[in-house]
Amino acid sequence: MNQIPVRQVGRTLQIEILRHNPYDPASKPRLQTFEVEEADAMTLFIALSEIREQQDPSLQFDFVCRAGICGSCGMIINGRPGLACRTLTRNLPQRITLAPLPAFELIGDLSVNTGKWMRGMSERLETWVHSQGLERLDLDALEPAMEPELAEQLYELERCIECGCCVAACGTAQMREDFVGAVGL
pLDDT of residue 96: 98
Looking at residue 142, its pLDDT comes to 85
pLDDT 10s digits, 131-162: 776 777 777 888 888 899 988 888 877 778 88
CATH 3.30.9.10 for domain 12-118+158-180: no
Residue 38 is predicted with a pLDDT of 96
Domain residue ranges in the chain? 12-118+158-180
pLDDT under 50: residue ranges of the chain: none
Query: Is the pTM above the cut of 0.85?
Result: no
- Return the pLDDT at 7: 52
Tell me the HSE value of 60 on the side-chain side, using a 13 A CA sphere. Answer: 15
pLDDT value of position 170:
86
Instruction: Give the pLDDT of residue 141.
Output: 84
Alpha helices, DSSP H, located in 9-147: 44-54, 114-125
